[in-house]
A = this chain, B = another copy of it.
Amino acid sequence: MALTDDAIAKLRSMIQSGELPPGARLPPEPQLAAQMGLSRSGVREAVKVLESARVLDVRRGDGTYVTSLAPRLLLEGLGVAVELLRDDTLLEVMEVRRMLEPVATGMAALRMTDTQLDELAQILEDMRAAADDAEKLIQFDTAFHHTVVATTGNETLTSLLDGLSSRTLRARVWRGLIEGNAAHKTIDEHHAIYLALRSRDQLLAHASALMHVNTSEAWLRTVLAAQAAER
């Protein structure tokens, strides 16, 4: 096919070139169709694709606008992509986290403010209180890591790591952790990371984060193996 894909490419290049800057409003669909030489249907498909990529923001009854193009938006798709990866490639994802998250945590140790540390302490407390509630544990776990990475001030990095730790991936790991009575130990690992961050010790933060991701990876392996055995 060509027409619709051409339209997608054309819109993308108009945005990339600055002809359609963030916040700009696109012409109405019929007009856009005329400009690009295809029917409104084709334009709608093209717009829909860019909307799903968070490049365009379609407001019904109003018009279509270019988003802010912030990393947090454009990299959102990474999360859904990871959700669709097959089981055997999840270990690859975990390996990337293992490479990236410790470095990011180490960097966070250098930049974290007292306020942010207190925030972490609060999350840690919540986690302890959540005990065996898998749902809440996952939620606080997500918040913990997000908060740590976010303090690097690098939104791209944060979005990437958020995406790599998709919800279903986290859920699987925690399912294993809880069933294996390792939730408590894992919460302690978070505490260790917290302590390293509070002492602004980059190396220790790096090491504790690596230990932690390693634990997650191990449990993911367990869960995947158990699941494979079921068949």
> Residues of A at under 8 Å CB distance from B?
1, 4, 8, 12, 15-16, 22, 41, 44-45, 48-49, 52-53, 55, 58, 60, 69-71, 74-75, 77-78, 80-86, 89, 92-93, 95-96, 99-100, 103-104, 107, 154-157, 160, 168
Query: How many copies of the polypeptide does the oligomer hold?
Result: 2
* A5: nearest chain-B partner, CB-CB: B52
Contacting pair B71 A89 (CB below 8 A): yes
Q: With A156-B93, A157-B92 in contact, is A69–B48 under 8 Å at CB? A: no
* A106: nearest chain-B partner, CB-CB: B99
Q: Tell me the bound Cα distance from A12 to B85 in angstroms.
A: 11
Q: Tell me the bound Cα distance from A90 to B208 in angstroms.
A: 29
Q: Tell me the bound Cα distance from A76 to B129 in angstroms.
A: 41
A1 / chain B contacts, CB cutoff of 8 Å: 58, 60
Q: Name 26 A/B residue pairs within 8 A (Cβ), A-sorted.
A: A1-B58, A1-B60, A4-B48, A8-B52, A12-B84, A16-B83, A16-B168, A22-B86, A41-B44, A44-B45, A48-B48, A52-B53, A71-B89, A75-B78, A75-B81, A77-B77, A77-B81, A78-B78, A85-B156, A92-B155, A96-B154, A96-B156, A96-B157, A99-B157, A103-B103, A160-B160
